[in-house]
Copies of this chain bind each other. A is one copy, B any other.
């Protein structure tokens, strides 16, 4: 039995994709699935898939591949998604509202249980079935509901103060969508998703492609007719 403590982060990032395909296969009544099939579905190399799955402790069988029920258990456990994890959102602006309303997180055991804001005009509004709560009630909420994960979607200028406040309230994992690097104590886990940074990379790469084409020999394919 492998210890999930040893799974490398790049493998961790691929596990949700395997889990999604395996669950779909189960719904289709399949009993086992091969690494080759997973690799093909995800445009990965089979050796990579076998390594990733082995790191979760599941064992493949000759010919048939991986037993689907075992695979779901081992991946889910490796991700710590055995039980639904409650999380709250701080910041009921556009992005916070979008995340609160996005029900795709439940597939990975993430349940958004509350959304907070300090703007009196937003408090009391309903977003994705949740009522926006005043941020000064957050300490009480975290203590009574034992929430450990928070999603930060406040404006960048308020992000550090928000993180500090969350840490004081006992939050241990922060998913930060604000475009800022936040300082937290070593015992708190910080994961950042910066949509502006992603789009910047797309824009710049696209600009480079265009320049390559106009500057270089355009022996490449004809471009959008």
Residues on A close to B: CB < 8 A?
4-5, 7-10, 12-17, 20-21, 24, 41-44, 78-81, 85, 93-95, 97-99, 101-105, 107-110, 148-149, 156-157, 169-170, 172-173, 175, 179-183, 185-187, 189, 191, 193-211, 213, 220-221, 223-225
Contacts and interface: CB of A to CB of B under 8 A. Distances in A.
Nearest to A109: B203
Nearest to A196: B16
A204 B170 contact: no
Which A-B residue pairs are the 5 nearest by beta carbons? A170-B224, A98-B98, A16-B196, A191-B202, A13-B197
A173 B8 contact: no
A82 B111 CA distance: 39
26 contacts: A4-B207, A5-B220, A9-B225, A12-B197, A12-B204, A13-B197, A16-B196, A16-B200, A17-B180, A20-B156, A20-B196, A43-B181, A79-B204, A98-B99, A108-B196, A110-B199, A148-B206, A149-B202, A173-B202, A175-B198, A187-B213, A187-B223, A189-B205, A191-B199, A191-B201, A191-B202
Contacts of A99: 98
Taking the full assembly, how many copies of this chain does it contain? Answer: 2
Nearest to A225: B9
B20 A221 contact: no
Contacts of A203: 79-81, 85, 108-109, 173
Contacts of A208: 5
Given A16-B199, A98-B101, 12 more contacts: A5-B208, A8-B225, A17-B179, A17-B180, A43-B182, A78-B204, A98-B98, A104-B195, A109-B203, A170-B223, A175-B198, A191-B198
